[in-house]
Amino acid sequence: METLAENRSFGGVQGVYRHASETCGCDMTFAVYMPPQAADGPVPVLWYLSGLTCTHENAMTKGGFQEHAAKHGLAVVFPDTSPRGESVADDEAYDLGQGAGFYVNAKREPWKPHFRMYDYITQELRGVVEGMKGIGGRHGITGHSMGGHGALTIAMRNPEAYDSLSAFAPIAHPTQSDWGRKQLSAYLGDDEGCWAVHDSTLLMEEHGWKDDILVDQGGSDQFLDLLKPEALAAAIARRRQAATFRMQAGYDHSYFFVQSFAGDHVAWHAERLK
């Protein structure tokens, strides 16, 4: 693993690293914030999955997580959203290809050789992070938009691997949205039966989550029709899932929304991870 940068931040260290990924078949870059408490022993971990067009850097620099993580003694992992490089397939559209991995394992060409973000997050990068000094054994997961979709679906499919779960404005019903049908068809094929395991609304109805969930959604989000928060909220109600689903009046889909409630989410995870 190559260290690209390490900067002091709120008494801890914000690092950026690169490694050769066997899962994605290319070099992958990710960031980890280690709070000051990690100097005294292992700390819990919060995974933050980013949305469309983002790299590891967007939430790292715009989300405002470091101050809250330092206060509560959490490490925060910021993975990239897709494989990258000249040999990696791409598309002219912003919502397909590089920057738009959708946290699935692609089954169709030309995406299949590299686009294996589900395995990368849940297995390979998990192993890399767990091998870092100061990382403890309890993990929570959250994310924004496409990353909120990733956090919800990954946690509900792997409840033994995560101890807390939240999301910011997740793509909540991708099998019924243009932010989902296009990508799931491209990556997985036209058999919609294969899509269900990547839809948090359908997973909520079938499996639910082992504990409570926190979801924040901007009430003035310009992408509400694509995100379909009402579908997830209805599934939560039907299952009688323990959850807090907050419509935040006046907030849009930007990182101003994320940073406004980052402190709430970090504190919420810290309470459950400790």
106-125 pLDDT, tens digit per residue, is: 999 999 999 999 999 999 99
What positions carry a catalytic annotation? Answer: 145, 221, 253
Alpha helical stretches, state H, 131-208: 146-157, 178-188, 200-206
Task: Give the whole-angstrom CA distance, residue 208 versus residue 128.
Answer: 28
Count of domains observed in the chain: 1
- In angstroms, the Cα distances linking 269 to 34, 51, 64, 264, 274 are 16, 20, 15, 9, 8
* Dihedral sign computed on CA atoms, order 244, 247, 252, 256: negative
Are 75 and 32 in contact, with CB atoms under 8 Å apart? Answer: yes
Range of the domain at 44: 2-273
Which tokens in the block code for residue 218? 């901007």
Q: What is the pTM of this model?
A: 0.97
Residue 24: per-residue pLDDT: 98
Task: Give the whole-angstrom CA distance, residue 47 versus residue 22.
Answer: 21
Give the residues of the chain that fall short of pLDDT 50. none
Query: CATH number, domain at 26?
Result: 3.40.50.1820
* Dihedral sign computed on CA atoms, order 153, 104, 129, 71: negative
Residue 2: per-residue pLDDT: 96
Residue 29: per-residue pLDDT: 98
74-89 pLDDT, tens digit per residue, is: 999 999 999 999 999 9
